[in-house]
Amino acid sequence: MQVAFSADNAPADEAPYYLPSGNEVEVFTAAYRQHLPLMLKGPTGCGKTRFVEHMAARLGRSLITVACHEDITAADLVGRYLLQGGDTVWVDGPLTRAVRSGAICYLDEVVEARADTTVVIHPLADHRRELILERRAEQLTAHPYFMLVLSYNPGYQSVLKDLKQSTRQRMVGIELGYPPAEREHQILVREGGVSEAQATDLIKLAQAIRQLDASLLPEVCSTRTLVSTAHLIQAGLSPRVAATAAMLQPLCDDAVVQQGLREVVETYLPA
């Protein structure tokens, strides 16, 4: 059986780039070693998916990612019978494949999935570590290296879209936010390839937008959009054009708000 790497000794330079802002690496590693499922909370574009990719590489585990949506069913996760060449055969879903092989299964934006879908993970997320395949009358015990990771954006929570307490209390939680300015600066230089001065200007712009009235702008520019802006600058666009395309346009469609945002861009970025 393959031995998982220790995150303390893993070659971090070989993993997807991720710059920790707190103790998230240590908490993830401890949860993995103790066979505990993990719940990541944080706004859009703060680095949840990159963090999971980074940790999977550091721990030497395969990663199976499921982008959850409102039409996803339990069968989409665990598997179903399909017709193949005139025969009816069972085909494992992504969750079942992870349970069998010892991969990390990452359910991204899990609150988007139907409530009855998430119930199938309950036996996996407690001391049983079992996946029940009702259609096959089969009960699988998770591979020792299997790990379940969920993520969601608390900003999208509502009465109808939230994790049940019965699911939450099976999880170890990590809350991620946008990195502090000095770390976001390092990310832009490293990932976006912009200069120190350009990174500083982009960080100041992002901080100004993040301080705007939430009633006018419920979502703000994320670290992801900052990196995209840096890439556009590297491609030859001016900082203002790049920021307008990658940071402002995705935020809203209101013409008045857009005009106000453009004025903010002109304040912080050169033409």
Final residue in a domain of this structure, among 175, 205, 227: 175
Average pLDDT along the chain: 89
Instruction: Name the pTM for this structure.
Output: 0.89
- Domains identified in the chain, total number: 2
Residues 86 and 214 in one domain: no
Which of 175, 205, 238 lies at the terminal end of a domain, its last residue?
A: 175
Residue 6 — very low, low, confident or very high, per pLDDT cuts 50/70/90? Answer: very low
Residue 114 resides in a domain = yes
pLDDT tens digits, one per residue of 75-118: 999 999 999 888 899 999 999 999 999 999 999 999 888 877 88
Please check whether residue 207 lies inside any domain of the structure: yes
- pLDDT at residue 10 tops 80: no
pLDDT score of 126: 92
DSSP for the chain reads -PPPPPTTTS-GGGSPP---SSSHHHHHHHHHHTT--EEEE--TTSSHHHHHHHHHHHHT--EEEEE--TT--HHHHHEEEEEETTEEEEEE-HHHHHHHHTPEEEEETGGGS-HHHHGGGGGGSSTT-EEEEGGGTEEEEPPTT-EEEEEE-GGG--SSSS--HHHHTTSEEEE--PPPHHHHHHHIIIII---HHHHHHHHHHHHHHHTS-TTT-SS---HHHHHHHHHHHHTT--HHHHHIIIIITTT---HHHHHHHHHHHHHHS--
pLDDT band at 3 (very low <50, low <70, confident <90, very high): very low
Is the same domain home to 189 and 231? yes
Range of the domain at 188: 181-268
Residues 23 and 122 in one domain: yes
Same structural domain, 168 and 200: no
Query: Looking at residue 85, what is its pLDDT?
Result: 84
> Last residue of some domain: 125, 146, 175?
175
User: Is residue 5 very low, low, confident or very high in pLDDT (cuts 50, 70, 90)?
Assistant: very low
pLDDT at site 117? 80
Q: Are residues 219 and 252 in the same domain?
A: yes
